[in-house]
Structure 1
Amino acid sequence: MTQRRPRMNFREMFNMNFGFLGIQFGWGLQLANMSAIYQRLGASPDEVPILWLAAPVTGLLVQPIVGALSDRTWGRLGRRRPYFLVGAILASIALFFMPTSSALWMAASLLWILDASINISMEPFRAFVADKLDAGQRTAGFVMQSFFIGIGASLANALPFLFREMGVTGNTASGIPLTVKYSFQAGAVVFLLAVLWTVFTTSEHPPEDMAAFERERRERSGVGALFGEIGGAMRAMPRTMKQLAVVQFFTWLGLFCMWMFFGLTVATHVFGATDTQSELFAQGTEWGGLMFSVYSIVCFAVAFLLPKVAAATSRKMTHAAALVCGAAGLLSVYFIHDRYLLVLTMVGVGIAWASILSMPFAILAGALPAHRMGVYMGIFNFFIVIPEILASLTFGRLIRGIWGADNPDASLYMVMIGGVSLLVAALAVTRVDDVGEPDAAEVIDADAHERLTVQGSVQPVPSSGLQG
């Protein structure tokens, strides 16, 4: 029988999730700026989707492997934290050099390295929350991740705009704005420091039966056993996970439409830019990045309201309503030509984003066996990256075949498709069986009713000098 986890207080939950701020800082810079970087390096709009292929392919390969490996890992840094650390170091190097790219092949190659590294850090974080928290606190734990994701993305998306306001002008030799270059290099530092904070301030629960854990680890050693474990987990996938897979597919298809094309839509549809090398185009894409910071601000502003809404209704109905808000936000872009009204569209997206980052994972965690949390969280990522692979391989053909490769409105139409996809996801989530729905109200005010306790049952890791 699985041992009940000690209740975590706010400070402990804060430290445990703080690394996600850095991870999302890196993601946010990439999502808001890579399409514009590619176009400045000579890519046409119909070539942009295929250049994004790095992200889903690396996620498809890396996340289940890292999840399975972390399930069978235990050492001085615990189970999940070694992967946080290695991924953060590699991602920070890629972030630093990305804006120095002088050609498309260089930017695309660095994106592969960046995405692989971010996936190494990010996948174990989902399992980390499920490992550390009892079922009654998992919704709050994933919501705390949403909070830090919102903060990290807000800062990352606004940074190029803020550098411009501070007087930074000019481009690199390859045409990438210095505002973007400095933002990526600042992001490299933030990513590494945030992950280090979690690594050195949070311990992990050791296996409950260390002898059995070591015996099983020896029996499952080798590449064949690793892939066999992943295959076996896929065949034994819980019913709730299969239902959530449909929700995730359409959710992330919609999000990729937004991430790939929203910045370009702002530049062409709202700012009226026709030349990708013009100052007006740069201002439009920077404004698009600033709007991404708006939805991220809304995300962390509403994140802690979600458990209360879920307690009053249910987690799946909360998620469905949030997805409808996101769909409305994206579909409304068609009617907007005033840059300031775009703020309203991002309010809807921000509500959806807060739920997307927490509710599916909270629902999923209650349906998974504890000893296979890592591999299942990695497999769950398939239903995020498969729609992105589909988007990368087909969106370019769709644009060329329906609207024409150089049609300036093509990006707007792709954002509309994103809104429709979120509506389909909202319908699908109503059919999900949430087998582990807790009393979500208690996770908000638990610390007001329980005094802080020392987690004496948790084996500490060797002192790092930063742990008290």
Structure 2
Amino acid sequence: METSSQSKAADGSKRAMNTKPLLGFFQIWNMAFGFFGLQIGFGLQNANASRVFQSLGANVDELALFWLAGPVTGLIMQPIVGYMSDKTWGRFGRRRPYFFIGALLASIALMFMPHSPALWIAVGSLWVLDASLNISMEPFRAFVGDKLSTAQRTFGYAMQGLMIGAGGWLASKLPSFLTSAGASNQADIGSVPESVTYAFMIGAVILFASVMWTIFTTKEYSPQELADFEAADTSELAIMRQAERPVPPAAFFKRWGVIITLIGAALTACVFIFNTEKQFIVFSSGVTLTGLMFLWHGALCNAPQMLATVLDDLVTMPLIMKRLALVQFATWFAFFIMWVYSDPAFAAHHFGTSDAASKAYGAASFAKNDMFAVYNLVPIGFSLMIPFIVRAIGLKTTYAAALTLGGLGLIAIYVLPMGQFLGDGISFGWFTAFQTKFFLSAIGIGIAWTCVLTLPYAILADALPAEKMGTYMGIFNFFIVLPQLVVGTVMGPVIATFFGGNAVYAIVLAGIVMIIGAALLLLFVPYKKPA
């Protein structure tokens, strides 16, 4: 007859067998390596898209509007891909098919974008590029949650942060490396400099190769294995994420559908009544469309399954995810401003020019690229320190301190007198940023960037049920996309009307908002990392 102690031992043995095994360093490295290539794609886009658009004739106050390609495609693609990857299982796995498709399309778009013969074609290429990167991005985030136990998730996302930093640094430096090798860094209006064109082509090859490395060196757990792992987890967080969250009745969706639709219609009417910037229609139309989807789901009760699932999960998000969304909004609002407006801000504030075809503007672009290179270097080292810092002072405190440093770094772009430290401001070589005081700004931004890429997803992966990991990761992207839509529709007119056309004041605003995000994190996000 089995004794009580034997029964407990058997139960413990069974739970051990059904616990995700700890993976070795290089196994986690292989899982994350595809992010190196993806970030080269994002880095080339972030560092050079504004320059490509201005080279093809775009004005400064139009840049944010053109950059709406990314947020709009992300808003559409992320929840779709997340939902579909949750439901996918076949010969090639659950997430890996999306890695491949996204990498292939993104590589093609990278090669095409700098060869665009007209501005509108370049903007269209950015839409394709961003949509393709999004096809791969969220499955990669969910992949870490699938493969790693709670004990290793922070390290897994930190490894992704390392790869993102390395890819971002290389993407930022590629144009200057190629210029040193003999490629031209200047071009007439209507064409893109050789340094940028060649950088995009090289980046496309590296992107595809690195994602293929991850595909061929990693395997995935089957849905049944994931279910067994989830059932064996008896931690407090596991109980919380498996708790039943009742879906609101149809009346909820009807009521909020009417309210949101009316708000969207009113915002659209204001554009015409007050003759404001027409780009506001992009935002107001998005609000109206959201309201109509709520009405469709609530009034008709027969919306397509994917739409119904996404809407149900959106309104029943775990509390941690809802609060963390506020922090995401603030941080991505700040970073998107930096990406869009750094070129014109550096050129006008530190180099005294707004002429995209001038030699000084090219020097300003290199100065900005050097700063981007430094802030992308930081995750290479700092990301692997994060698990130890979190263990010492806590995850939320680490994240809040990083956001505060990032906000101060953005404000320092305006405060630091860069000009007197740059000499003639024309020659930029390896690590030139460290010869100027603005490397302090870059380090602060880099620390914030490292934590933004790591800690929110470590929190989410602990709070989300395994069977909905991709869907919720896609929904979480809404709160990365929405601030970008706000920047894209609002900041152009704000800079023209209130900042006198000087984009550096938008960078200062970004720093203030990022510091506000740190306060929101500490005050409202109810998370405690399990032992």
Same fold (TM over 0.5): yes
Supply the distance in 2 between the matched residues of 1:60 and 1:274 (Cα, whole angstroms).
32
- Structure 1 segment 41-440 matched on structure 2, within 5 A: 41-169=56-184, 174-208=190-224, 224-338=304-418, 339=422, 340-404=436-500, 407=501, 410-435=502-527, 437-439=529-531
Which one is further off, 72-81 or 226-235? 226-235
User: Residue deviations 1:336-379, cap 9 Å, x none?
Assistant: 23242221110000111110000111011111111100000000
State the AA in 1 paired with 2:457: F
Supply the distance in 2 between the matched residues of 1:211 and 1:324 (Cα, whole angstroms).
39
Give the CA RMSD over aligned residues. Answer: 1.9
Unmatched 5+ stretches in structure 1: 213-221, 440-468
Q: Is the 8 A contact 2:499 2:505 kept in 1?
A: no
State the AA in 2 paired with 1:281: Y
2:408 is paired with a residue of what secondary structure?
Answer: helix
Supply the distance in 1 between the matched residues of 2:226 and 2:169 (Cα, whole angstroms).
42
Q: Is the 8 A contact 1:251 1:421 kept in 2?
A: yes
Supply the distance in 2 between the matched residues of 1:153 and 1:264 (Cα, whole angstroms).
20
Q: Is the 8 A contact 1:366 1:435 kept in 2?
A: no
Supply the distance in 2 between the matched residues of 1:274 and 1:141 (Cα, whole angstroms).
42
State the AA in 2 paired with 1:422: M
Query: 1:433: how far off?
Result: 4.0
1:9 aligns to 2:9 (yes or no): no
Query: 1:175: how far off?
Result: 2.6
Classify 1:401/1:274 alpha carbon distance in 2 versus 1 (closer, same or farther; 3 Å).
Answer: closer
Supply the distance in 1 between the matched residues of 2:18 and 2:448 (Cα, whole angstroms).
34
Residue 218 (structure 1) aligns with = none
Supply the distance in 2 between the matched residues of 1:150 and 1:78 (Cα, whole angstroms).
27
Q: Is the 8 A contact 2:185 2:362 kept in 1?
A: no
Which one is further off, 38-47 or 145-154? 38-47
Supply the distance in 2 between the matched residues of 1:140 and 1:170 (Cα, whole angstroms).
39
User: Residue deviations 1:437-462, cap 9 Å, x none?
Assistant: 134xxxxxxxxxxxxxxxxxxxxxxx
Supply the distance in 2 between the matched residues of 1:399 and 1:260 (Cα, whole angstroms).
12
Which one is further off, 286-295 or 352-361? 286-295
Q: Percentage identity across aligned positions?
A: 44
Which one is further off, 355-364 or 427-436? 427-436
Residue 460 (structure 1) aligns with = none
State the AA in 2 paired with 1:357: L
Supply the distance in 2 between the matched residues of 1:318 and 1:438 (Cα, whole angstroms).
16
Query: 1:171: how far off?
Result: 5.2
Query: 1:26: how far off?
Result: 0.2
Which one is further off, 32-41 or 430-439? 430-439
* TM-score of the two chains, using structure 1 as the length reference: 0.88
Unmatched 5+ stretches in structure 2: 1-14, 229-301, 423-435
Query: 1:289: how far off?
Result: 1.4
2:224 is paired with a residue of what secondary structure?
Answer: coil
Structure having the higher Rg: 2
State the AA in 1 paired with 2:496: R
Residue 38 (structure 1) aligns with = 53
Supply the distance in 1 between the matched residues of 2:138 and 2:181 (Cα, whole angstroms).
36
Supply the distance in 2 between the matched residues of 1:72 and 1:223 (Cα, whole angstroms).
18
